[in-house]
Amino acid sequence: MHLKNCMIRGDMESDSADEQYPTVSVCDECIEQDKQSGDESVIIQILNSDLPYETSCYFCGNDSD
Ligand SMILES: [Zn+2]
């Protein structure tokens, strides 16, 4: 299981950019699934950053190895 940091579509009602476009860790599987979901896609951008990683996938909760 490999996690990547991704910017996702969050709470658009929020006044905070951090909540509108939060950065979360997502596993490869969920990234693949999101790519195939077309208009329903919530991942805006995969970030190549040194941000600290969460220990589990935001969507499915799978732990990273
Ligand atoms: Zn996942």
Q: Where are the domains of the chain?
A: 1-65
pLDDT for 19 beyond 90 = yes
More confident residue, 8 or 55: 8
Centre of ligand 1 from the C-alpha of residue 17, in Å: 23
In this structure, the dihedral spanned by the alpha carbons of residues 22, 10, 38 and 26, taken in order and rounded to 10 degrees, is 40
Centre of ligand 1 from the C-alpha of residue 63, in Å: 9
What per-residue confidence (pLDDT) applies to 13? 96
Q: 47 near 4, Cβ under 8 Å?
A: yes
For 22, 43, 62, the CA distances from 58, given in Å and listed in that order, are 11, 11, 8
Average pLDDT along the chain:
88
pLDDT for 22 beyond 90 = yes
Centre of ligand 1 from the C-alpha of residue 20, in Å: 20
More confident residue, 48 or 3: 3
Determine the average pLDDT of the residues in 3-29.
93
Percent of the chain with pLDDT over 70: 86
Centre of ligand 1 from the C-alpha of residue 19, in Å: 20
